[in-house]
């Protein structure tokens, strides 16, 4: 066993290092839940509220565990994982090289994350880019007519009212493929550029079965070198949910000049630091300031 931690914050920090950016390869939940995380989905965030820990997947399924006094998450290396632990665990999440298991948890719940930009009830859905018959021109019109002129391309790609099918991992990869600065204003793109972006997105999403396991160009590659320009991949976290965004500042320069004021370099994870650790330290800092 790698670690036993008592405080929920510490458990969450350990879970982040072990799970964020990795694909779910195995799952067992010892209770019936409303929605099950899907195998192949990627762990995007781990949040903590008191003794509750939430694990958020890139399709926005949230797994919430209420730990109360005795509940705890533990991380195992694959070779250290035994049947006895499996029998006692209430939740088991397997990724490539680690197994996260939760014991003595009192309540397990799953739901879809509530993000107003991505929530279907707050507006009409945009076209589904995973559907080959979808209307891409409508998507282009919705981008060109986007009401918030200061909104960034990175934000609009996740706005379900404009287009559907793009998760956070895919968003990072798409921005890199198109060499777009993530914080460029959506209003700086002309019709041809919007069309190019949604066409490439649709092609990539619709061929995802063939490319499910293709290696990622930027996501999870913080501090590594960019395959295109040899620059260093950076990661920044932003928004209330601390969603991470990986990108190459050296070659993702299209429309960089229009970069929105929402791009703040202080949210960049410094080289050599794990983004999960940086988020944890930033949260501690904020807690100290507010306390």
Contact positions vs Zn ion (CB under 5 A): 226, 228-229, 231, 248, 250-251
DSSP SS3 for 90:
coil
- Cβ contacts of residue 82 below 8 Å, gap of 6+? none
Q: Which is nearer to Zn ion, 33 or 229 (CB)?
A: 229
Q: Which residues contact 247 (CB under 8 A, 6 or more apart)?
A: 172, 175, 176, 182, 218, 233, 234, 235, 236
As measured in angstroms, the least distance from the Cβ of 69 to Zn ion is 48
30's enclosing H/E stretch is none
Q: Max alpha carbon distance in the chain (Å)?
A: 59
Nearer to Zn ion by Cβ, of 232 and 258: the residue is 232
Nearer to Zn ion, 197 or 226 (CB): 226
Smallest distance from the beta carbon of 226 to Zn ion, in angstroms? 3
Pair 60, 15: CB distance under 8 Å: no
Radius of gyration of the chain (CA): 20
Residues pairing with 4 in the sheet: 74
Nearer to Zn ion, 64 or 181 (CB): 181
Closest contact distance (angstroms) between CB of 247 and Zn ion is 9
Distance CA 3, CA 14 (A): 8
Provide the 10 A C-beta neighbour count for residue 241: 15
Q: How far is the CB of 251 from Zn ion (least distance, A)?
A: 3
Pairing mode, strands 43-49 and 91-94:
unpaired
> Based on CB atoms, which residue is closest to Zn ion, 128 or 250?
250
Q: How far is CA 58 from CA 20, 94, 165, 244, 257, in A?
A: 10, 16, 11, 11, 30
116/231 with CB nearer Zn ion = 231
Nearest-approach distance from CB 176 to Zn ion, in angstroms = 8
Taking the least distance from each CB to Zn ion, the nearer of 11 and 236 is: 236
Q: Min. distance of Cβ 3 from Zn ion in angstroms?
A: 35
The least distance separating Zn ion from the CB of residue 234, rounded to whole angstroms, comes to 10
The helices-and-strands tally (H runs, E runs) of the chain is 8, 11
Judged by beta carbon, residue 57 or residue 246, the one nearer Zn ion is 246
Query: Shortest Cβ distance from residue 249 to Zn ion (Å)?
Result: 8
Is residue 85 exposed (0-12), middle (13-18) or buried (19+ Cβ within 10 Å)? middle
């Amino acid at each position: 066993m790698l670690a036993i931690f008592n405080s929920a914050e510490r458990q969450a920090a350990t879970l982040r290092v072990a799970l964020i950016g990795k694909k779910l390869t195995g799952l067992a939940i010892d209770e019936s839940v409303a929605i099950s995380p899907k195998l192949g989905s990627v762990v995007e965030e781990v949040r903590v509220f008191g003794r509750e820990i939430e694990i958020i997947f890139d399709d926005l399924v949230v797994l919430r565990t209420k730990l109360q006094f005795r509940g705890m998450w533990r991380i195992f290396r694959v070779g250290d994982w035994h049947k006895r632990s499996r029998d006692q665990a209430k939740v088991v999440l397997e990724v490539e090289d680690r197994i996260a298991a939760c014991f003595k948890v009192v309540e397990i719940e799953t739901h879809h994350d509530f993000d107003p930009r991505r929530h279907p009830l707050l507006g009409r859905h945009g076209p589904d880019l995973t559907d080959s018959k979808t209307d891409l021109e409508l998507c282009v019109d919705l981008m060109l007519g986007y009401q918030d002129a200061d909104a960034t391309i990175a934000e609009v790609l996740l706005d379900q009212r404009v287009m559907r099918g793009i998760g956070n991992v895919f968003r990072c990869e798409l921005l890199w493929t198109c060499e777009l600065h993530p914080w460029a204003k959506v209003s700086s793109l002309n019709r041809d550029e919007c069309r190019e972006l949604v066409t490439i997105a649709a092609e990539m999403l619709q061929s995802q079965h063939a490319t499910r396991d293709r290696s990622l160009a930027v996501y999870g590659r913080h501090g590594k070198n960019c395959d295109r320009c040899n620059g260093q991949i950076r990661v920044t976290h932003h928004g209330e949910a601390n969603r991470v965004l990986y990108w190459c500042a050296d070659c993702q320069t299209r429309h960089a000049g229009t970069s929105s004021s929402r791009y703040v370099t202080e949210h960049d994870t410094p080289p050599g630091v794990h983004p999960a650790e940086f988020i944890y330290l930033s949260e501690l800092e904020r807690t100290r300031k507010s306390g």
